[in-house]
Structures are given as structure tokens and as C-alpha cells.
């Protein structure tokens, strides 16, 4: 009888690949920060949301540089 290769390690799902779209939670948090920054006046929820989404998408699209001791000001 041939042995089959069975892994004893538990199966785990790979983390979701980095998306170029922010999550709703990220957008909501940024929209709230925008709302607070403009004085917490109601009535611009849609504009705040759209601005937050644009900002986050722009940030995600930027290449990230690793911080080094020299660039960190050490």
C-alpha cells in the first residue's frame, strides 16, 4: 500500500492580496477625520466620504519607501 503525503499542519488561508481599494472602515475613519477637521458641522457627509476615498486611493497608489536609520533622523 502506497503512503500518501498528508500534511499535519493546519490549513490556513492566505491573506487577501493587497488591494488598491480602501476598506469601508478605512474610508469611514478618514471621512470622520475630515468632518472633525472642518469643524464637525453636519450636512457634508457625502462630500467627506468621497474626499476620504480619493485621499486613501491616492495614498495606496504611492510607492512606499522603507524607513532607514538615515531617513528616520537617527
Helix ranges (DSSP H) in 24-70: 24-37, 45-61
User: Hey, what's the cell of 8?
Assistant: 499535519
What was the pLDDT predicted at 26? 96
- Rounded CA gap, 57 and 19, in Å? 10
pLDDT tens figures, 14-71: 443 456 789 999 999 999 999 999 999 999 999 999 999 999 999 988 876 666 655 5
Residues 6+ apart with CB under 8 A from 20: 57, 60, 61
Grid cell 495606496 is found at: 60
In sign, the C-alpha dihedral spanning 56, 61, 66, 67 is: negative
What was the pLDDT predicted at 68? 61
Amino acid at each position: 500500500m502506497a503512503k500518501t503525503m498528508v500534511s499535519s499542519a493546519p490549513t490556513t488561508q492566505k491573506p487577501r492580496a493587497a488591494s488598491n481599494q480602501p476598506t469601508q472602515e478605512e474610508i469611514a475613519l478618514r471621512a470622520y477625520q475630515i468632518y472633525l477637521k472642518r469643524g464637525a458641522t453636519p450636512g457634508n457627509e457625502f462630500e467627506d466620504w468621497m474626499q476620504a476615498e480619493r485621499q486613501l486611493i491616492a495614498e495606496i497608489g504611492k510607492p512606499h519607501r522603507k524607513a532607514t536609520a538615515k531617513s528616520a533622523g537617527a
